[in-house]
């Protein structure tokens, strides 16, 4: 039947179709879409998203600073849960907007998606803002937002709630010595939940990082003491200003680490110097290598953190990789050719900050930079500097090169090890001589019978289905493995044969994927010796190949318990009940009926063994499982199986249904 055929009644449901007409298509106006689907704008409504609101407002002030119009920003958290960001920039325009003469530009910016001054590159060269949504999204998701603008010696103010203006922009006084924008907002509990709070410890890191990303700005931090928890060491006030930029920050982070170079490789290149005056922006970086702390890379574009990296980061690592390889060639170190990007990045602690015109990010939270050109710009800008740096400091350069060569060698050695391991696994297995294998080449549906004794092995060999049933006769008793050291384990021939036949190694080297059979079936006599062997085997599997049991590969065969003979005719009974039934029905022979408790598998001929114990259509198997619900059960089980009294084990194995579950398979 074709997969696209619709059930007939789908066509009858006219009502459903009528109800879904043009009126069901909604066009969300203004800021409604933001409140309906915050995820699209801030990546969700969780804590990360909540803190992203501050990032949006702060980014706008940073853009103003990077554009050269502001040099001071203040961030304050107040006890009422509000956040205030103030800058001394140009101030958001407040004059009427040419397209909407009744509204100020301020209102248009805050109440309209995709309204902004960063589309053309005229007011801002390399801004973090680019979509014209940030400020309006914060407004939409705040139950209160107040924006104050000091411009033209006047102070203006407009208030909003959930994206709706509470009135027009108003002049509220004179501001003779002031300019800039102040945004105060309170995240809406309807969106973020009643318990949502801006966390000082989370915000101060962001605030600090902005300061070292742009050395031309000073950021003042203030936080109500009541917001700082007992074990929290976030300061209530701080001033961040890093004239040394990223190099300062890296030095601070690597203060306690030993590094391969005394001084980091750090620098800053204006793209215009290299690519002509029309190329706006620059790249700044700082990196050092250390064996003592985990490698990290923090990358940014236009002060926006890009935790998922992107083109700028890729270009940076390309420069470093090519530089170090070239240096190796120059100094006659042939192994340098083996170094890859991973080797260069491993152990490298790097800060990369690019400023480019019209960056393209993936999504509004801007986690990854997608601008293709950034890769080329950054790579070419960094490359020359790296070459010079290496040449100018041979001691550091040598140490870093040696370290990367070592990383490359380790990586190659690991790969070689993996490859040989794989080769030996796929190489034709050496199988023990006494294994009677089945003919199927795949594992699916195959069974390996572990058979006690040679005589039973003989009839089992004839009784089996040679396509999927294999046999491994086990001679004598296997070593009592529970107490044995693992060296003893590997010396035991029976166990070695068993492992080889199964295709797996015991202990930590066990790999379920290598198992050669689907079902491992222990088939021993229904007597004390048989029970002992079965228990030894189960203990072995339990302690050395536990996943084999956990994944349901281990079974016990259930040979019959009674044989009833009458005048040359024999039948077998699995239990008392079946025996009684057979006796009552009669087995169809003549003369005296003899009932014997069945002893060994060897007593049965191949046909009987097949019918009672091996043929999947007639037999019963007990699947060995471990009951995890009962604490102490497994340890207890091993105790019982391995205890001194063999009768107990026999009893346990033949009767304990908690441990072993009877299944018809
Ligand atoms: N502190 C500020 N100082 C001056 N102008 C600002 C300030 N904050 C916002 N603006 C103006 O408001 C516009 C809209 O800001 P908004 O954050 O909504 O969008 P954006 O920054 O352009 O882009 P993005 O959505 O990527 O943040 C900005 O483009 C800028 O012109
Ligand atoms: Mg913005
Ligand atoms: Mg906007």
Asked if 368 and 404 sit in the same domain, the reply is: yes
How far apart, in whole angstroms, are the C-alpha atoms of residue 578 and residue 601?
A: 19
Are 387 and 492 contained in the same domain?
no
Q: Please give the distance, rounded to the nearest whole angstrom, from the Cα atom of residue 376 to the centre of ligand 2.
A: 26
Same structural domain for residues 494 and 609? yes
The answer as to whether 495 is a domain residue is yes
pLDDT single digits (tens) 457-498: 788 888 999 999 999 988 766 655 544 556 666 677 788 888
Tell me, what's the ipTM?
A: 0.98
Residues near 106 by Cβ (< 8 Å), separated by ≥ 6? 92, 93, 94, 147, 149, 156, 158, 169
User: 551: burial class by Cβ within 10 Å (0-12, 13-18, 19+)?
Assistant: exposed
- pLDDT of 5 reads 52
**Which CATH number goes with the domain that contains 147?**
3.30.565.10
Identified catalytic residue from 154, 529, 603, 633: 529
**314 near 294, Cβ under 8 Å?**
no
pLDDT in tens, 318-373: 999 999 999 999 999 999 999 999 999 988 999 999 999 989 998 777 899 999 99
Residue 125, in any domain of the structure:
yes
Q: How far apart are CA 636 and CA 633, in angstroms?
A: 5
Same domain as 219, residue 342: no
Lowest mean per-residue pLDDT among 109-118, 144-153, 490-499: 490-499
**What's the total number of domains in the chain?**
4
The response to whether residue 165 sits with its C-beta less than 6 Å from ligand 1 reads: no
Measured from the CB, is residue 343 less than 6 Å from ligand 1?
no
Average of per-residue pLDDT values in the chain: 85
The reported pLDDT for the residue numbered 477 is 60
564 part of a folded domain = no
Asked whether residue 10 is assigned to any structural domain, the reply reads no
On whether residue 158 sits in a domain, the answer given is yes
232 is catalytic: no
Alpha-carbon gap, residue 321 to 339, rounded angstroms:
8
Complete DSSP assignment for 581-641: HHHHH--S--S-EEEEE---GGGS-HHHHIIIII-TTT--EEEE---TTSTTHHHHHHHHH
CATH code for the domain of 376: 3.30.230.10
Q: How far is the CA of 134 from the centre of ligand 1 (A)?
A: 7
Q: Kindly name the residue from 284, 373, 452, 608 that is annotated as catalytic.
A: 452
Residue 590 lies in a domain: no
Determine if residue 177 is labeled as part of a ligand binding site.
no
Residue, of 272 and 490, whose pLDDT is higher: 272
C-alpha 384 – ligand 2 centre gap (Å): 34
Which is more confident, 509 or 401? Answer: 401
Stretch among 1-15, 130-144, 183-197, 459-473 having the lowest mean pLDDT = 1-15
The answer on 133 and 267 residing in a single domain is no
Boundary of a domain, candidates 382, 412, 442:
412
Nearest to 352 by CA among 407, 443, 283: 283
Is 600 labelled as part of a ligand binding site? no
Q: What is the CATH number of the domain that holds 527?
A: 3.40.50.670
Quick check: 236 and 223 in contact, CB under 8 A? yes
Bridge-based pairing of strands 218-223 and 72-77 is: parallel
Give residue 651's Cα distance to chain centre.
48
Is it the case that residue 124 has pLDDT exceeding 60? yes
CA–CA distance, 144 with 136 (Å, rounded to integer):
13
Asked whether residue 404 falls in the same domain as residue 441, the answer is no
376 vs 256, higher pLDDT: 376
**Domain assignment of residue 12, yes or no:** no
Residues 399 and 517 in one domain: no
The active-site residue, picked from 154, 514, 518, 527, is: 527
Strand ranges for 529-568 from DSSP E: 554-557, 562-566
Q: Annotated catalytic, 379? A: no
Q: Is 129 annotated as a binding residue?
A: yes
The reply to whether 205 and 62 lie within a common domain is yes
Instruction: Report the candidate in 573, 582, 576, 536 with the shortest Cα–Cα distance to residue 556.
Output: 536
Task: Read off the pLDDT of residues 12-41 as tens digits, 9 standing for 90 and up.
Answer: 667 777 777 777 777 767 898 899 999 888
What number is the average pLDDT over the span 233-243? 95
- Asked whether residue 393 carries a pLDDT value surpassing 90, the answer given is yes
**Closest-lying ligand 1 atom to the alpha carbon of residue 180:** 3
- Number of H helices and number of E strands within the chain? 23, 23
- How many other β-carbons are positioned within 10 Å of the β-carbon of residue 355? 25
Q: How many CB atoms lie within 10 A of CB 496?
A: 14
Active site residue 514: no
Instruction: Write phi, then psi, for 103 (nearest 5 degrees).
Output: -120, 150
Domain limits at 647?
637-665
278-288 pLDDT tens trace: 899 999 999 99
Decide whether any atom of ligand 1 lies within 6 Å of the 61 Cβ: yes
Please tell me the least confidently modeled range out of 16-20, 156-160, 255-259, 554-558.
16-20
Statement to judge: residues 37 and 156 lie in one domain:
yes
Residue 405 lies in a domain: yes
> Within this chain, do residues 52 and 180 fall inside the same structural domain, yes or no?
yes
Q: Does residue 58 line the site of ligand 1, with CB under 6 A?
A: no
- 198, 215, 236 — which closes off a domain? 236
Number of the ligand 1 atom closest to the C-alpha atom of 181: 1
Q: Is 135 a pocket residue for ligand 1 (Cβ < 6 Å)?
A: yes
Using alpha carbons, select from 141, 147, 181, 148 the residue that is nearest to residue 163.
Answer: 141
pLDDT band per the 50, 70, 90 thresholds, residue 567: confident
Domain boundary among 213, 236, 259: 236
Q: Respond yes or no: is residue 525 known to be catalytic.
A: yes
Indicate whether 294 and 374 sit together in one domain: yes
Residue 125: what pLDDT? 83
Q: Are residues 190 and 295 in the same domain?
A: no
Pairing mode, strands 569-573 and 554-557: unpaired
The catalytically annotated residue of 148, 497, 525, 608 is 525
Among residues 377, 382, 379, 369, which one has the least CA distance to residue 311? 369
Q: How many alpha carbons fall within 13 Å on the CB side of residue 181?
A: 25
**Which atom of ligand 1 lies nearest, measured to the CA of 87?**
1
Q: Is 65 in the pocket of ligand 1 (CB under 6 A)?
A: no
């Amino acid at each position: 039947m074709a997969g696209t055929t619709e059930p007939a009644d789908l066509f009858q449901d006219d009502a459903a179709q009528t109800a879904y007409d043009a009126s069901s298509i909604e066009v969300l106006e203004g800021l409604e879409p933001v409140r309906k689907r915050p995820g699209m704008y801030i990546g969700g409504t969780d804590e990360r998203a909540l803190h992203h609101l501050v990032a949006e407002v702060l980014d706008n002030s940073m853009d103003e600073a990077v554009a050269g119009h502001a040099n001071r920003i203040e961030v304050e958290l107040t006890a009422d849960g509000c956040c205030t960001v103030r800058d001394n920039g140009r101030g958001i325009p407040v004059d009427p907007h040419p397209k909407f003469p009744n509204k100020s530009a301020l209102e248009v910016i805050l109440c309209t998606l995709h309204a902004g001054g960063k589309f053309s590159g005229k007011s801002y060269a390399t801004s973090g803002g680019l979509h014209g949504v940030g400020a309006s999204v914060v407004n939409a998701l705040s139950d209160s937002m107040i924006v104050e603008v000091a411009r033209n010696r006047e102070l203006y103010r407009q208030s909003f709630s959930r994206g709706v203006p509470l009135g027009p922009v108003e002049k509220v006084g004179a501001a003779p010595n002031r300019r800039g924008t102040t945004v105060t907002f309170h995240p809406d509990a309807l969106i973020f939940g009643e318990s949502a709070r801006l966390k000082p410890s989370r915000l101060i890191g962001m605030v600090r990082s902005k300061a070292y990303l742009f050395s031309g700005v000073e950021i003042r931090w203030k936080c109500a003491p009541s917001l700082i928890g007992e074990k929290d060491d976030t300061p209530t006030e701080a001033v961040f200003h890093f004239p040394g930029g990223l190099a300062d920050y890296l030095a601070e982070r690597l203060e306690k680490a030993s590094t391969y170079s005394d001084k980091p490789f750090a620098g800053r290149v204006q793209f215009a110097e290299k690519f002509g005056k029309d190329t706006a922006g620059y790249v700044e970086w700082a990196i050092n290598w250390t064996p003592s702390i985990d490698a990290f890379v923090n990358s940014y574009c236009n002060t926006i953190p890009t935790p998922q990296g992107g083109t700028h980061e890729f270009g940076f690592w390309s420069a470093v990789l090519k530089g170090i390889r070239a240096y190796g060639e120059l100094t006659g170190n042939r192994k340098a050719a083996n170094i890859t990007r991973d080797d260069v990045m491993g152990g490298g602690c790097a800060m990369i900050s690019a400023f480019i015109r019209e960056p393209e990010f993936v999504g509004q939270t801007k986690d990854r930079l997608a601008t293709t050109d950034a890769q080329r710009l950054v790579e070419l800008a960094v490359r020359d500097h790296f070459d010079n740096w290496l040449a100018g400091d041979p001691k550091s350069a040598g140490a870093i090169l040696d370290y990367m060569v070592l990383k490359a060698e380790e990586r190659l050695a690991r790969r070689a090890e993996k490859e040989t391991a794989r080769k030996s696994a796929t190489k034709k297995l050496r199988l023990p001589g006494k294994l009677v294998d089945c003919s199927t080449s795949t594992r699916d549906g195959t069974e390996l019978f572990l058979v006690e004794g040679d005589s039973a092995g003989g009839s089992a060999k004839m009784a089996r289905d040679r396509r999927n049933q294999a046999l491994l006769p086990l001679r004598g008793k296997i070593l009592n493995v529970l107490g044995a050291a693992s060296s003893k384990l590997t010396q035991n021939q029976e166990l070695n044969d068993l492992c080889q036949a199964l295709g797996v190694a015991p202990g930590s080297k066990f790999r379920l994927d290598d198992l050669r059979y689907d079902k491992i079936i222990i088939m021993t006599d229904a007597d004390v010796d048989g029970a002992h062997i079965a228990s030894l085997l189960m203990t072995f599997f339990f302690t050395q190949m536990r996943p084999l049991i956990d994944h349901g590969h281990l079974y016990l065969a259930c040979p019959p318990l009674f044989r009833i003979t009458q005048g040359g005719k024999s039948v077998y009974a699995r239990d008392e009940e079946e025996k009684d039934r057979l006796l009552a029905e009669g087995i169809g022979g003549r003369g005296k009926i003899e009932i014997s408790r069945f002893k060994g598998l060897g007593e049965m001929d191949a046909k009987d063994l097949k019918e009672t114990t091996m043929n999947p259509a007639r037999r019963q198997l007990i699947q060995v499982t471990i009951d995890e619900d009962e604490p102490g059960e497994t340890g207890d089980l091993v105790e019982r199986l391995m205890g001194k009294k063999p009768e107990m084990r026999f009893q346990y194995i033949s009767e304990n249904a908690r441990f072993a579950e009877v299944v018809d398979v």
